[in-house]
Amino acid sequence: MRYYGTLGPACQKEEILLAMFLAGITGMRLNLSHGGLDENGYLLEAFQNAAKTMGIAPELLLDLQGPELRVGNMSNSLCLKRGEKVSLVSAEDPVGDGEIPLPSPLFRELREGDALLLDDGRILLKASREGTGWKGTILRGGTLLPHKSVALEGREIPSPALTEQDHANLSLASRWGVTGVMQPFVRKPEDLLELRRALQEAGAGQVRIFAKIESWSGMDRLKELLPFADEIVIARGDLGNSIPLWELPAAQKEIAGICRKAGKPFMVVTQLLASMEQNAVPTRAEVSDIFNAVLDGASSLMVTGETAVGKYPELVSRYLVKTGEEARRFVAEKQGGKW
């Protein structure tokens, strides 16, 4: 069983990473939507130093930008309140105060009445045309930070599997000791074949490929994707944006079942311990979620913002690993050791 945290400001100190490894974390993810490999060198050096001190070789996973769409640069965070209107602009144009810069592929596809889901669906806007521009009416508010995810509810936006920045980061993968690459929004086998070619060209052909299932198209073609991925990732954040949220548990079960039948390892990620970004103790629902993911056959579990920006990265690591290992013990003792 593998347990992954995510690198970020909250765990940038070597002593915190040491504590996470001691708690049982076996690898870390670096989200490249917030800067490239060299830009995050300080995080990677702390990761490497902690691993050296421990005498271990933890995995390092790169989460590429890929076709995932994100809010552009903003000078400040925005506090969005229900019922208010906010200007929507293209990230390619100058951005004023109080405006939300949308990635140009999405901005070009905007239609009257579109529902926009931001920050893994925490914030919901309804788009409307006003004069020559676009406005978003806040239906579900919150604080929006730069570079958070954005999606059109129920619609996919055509975009390339790998960006120029992805290719640049892949060229540095071997230098930084990368062991795995997470490909966002995998839609078809060609997306994974393109990634494999890019890795081979970068001299990193040995790096494992993690295919993130985050859309209907990925789910529909999951069986076709299996031969080209080393591990499937049930990425519940954006997957929960592309389907009604109440259908997400069934989608997770379906993906898990297909992977089990095919003998393909799979990971469960997103909001496993979300409340612990602010709280020192998880909810009962969260530990049950982790437990059930292991019972479903998950080979890996990953936390994201909980360790990257949360207040308690060490405690998050402890609860993640302790709960996962308790689930493994339960399976071994109560179900005859059948996995």
State yes or no: is 197 an active-site residue: no
* pLDDT in the model for residue 39: 92
Q: Would the pLDDT of 207 be above 80?
A: yes
* pLDDT in the model for residue 336: 65
pLDDT digits (tens, 9 = 90+) for 296-318: 999 999 999 999 999 999 999 99
Alpha carbons 162 and 190: distance in angstroms, whole number: 11
pLDDT digits (tens, 9 = 90+) for 236-280: 998 988 888 999 999 999 999 999 999 999 999 999 999 999 999
**In Å, how far are 9, 61, 160, 313 from 66, measured between CA atoms?**
23, 14, 7, 27
Find the catalytic residue in 29, 187, 236, 264. Answer: 29
Homologous superfamily (CATH) for 78-152: PK beta-barrel domain-like (2.40.33.10)
Spatial CB neighbours of 276, under 8 Å, sequence gap ≥ 6 = 282, 286, 306, 310, 311, 312, 315, 316, 319
State yes or no: is 143 an active-site residue: no
Q: Span 179-196, mean pLDDT?
A: 96
273-283 burial, b at 16+ Cβ within 10 Å, e below that, comes to bbebbeeeebe
State yes or no: is 29 an active-site residue: yes
Q: Does domain 2-68+162-334 have CATH number 3.10.310.30?
A: no
Per DSSP bridges, beta strands 2-6 and 27-31 are parallel
Q: 3-class SS at 134?
A: strand
Better pLDDT: 92 or 272: 272
* pLDDT in the model for residue 319: 98
Residues constituting the chain: 339
Domain ranges of the chain: 2-68+162-334, 78-152
State yes or no: is 270 an active-site residue: yes
pLDDT digits (tens, 9 = 90+) for 211-228: 999 988 899 999 999 999
Hey, which residues does 124 pair with through a beta bridge? 117, 140
pTM of the model: 0.82
Q: Are 29 and 168 in contact (CB under 8 A)?
A: no
Q: Would the pLDDT of 48 be above 60?
A: yes
Q: How many CB atoms lie within 10 A of CB 133?
A: 10
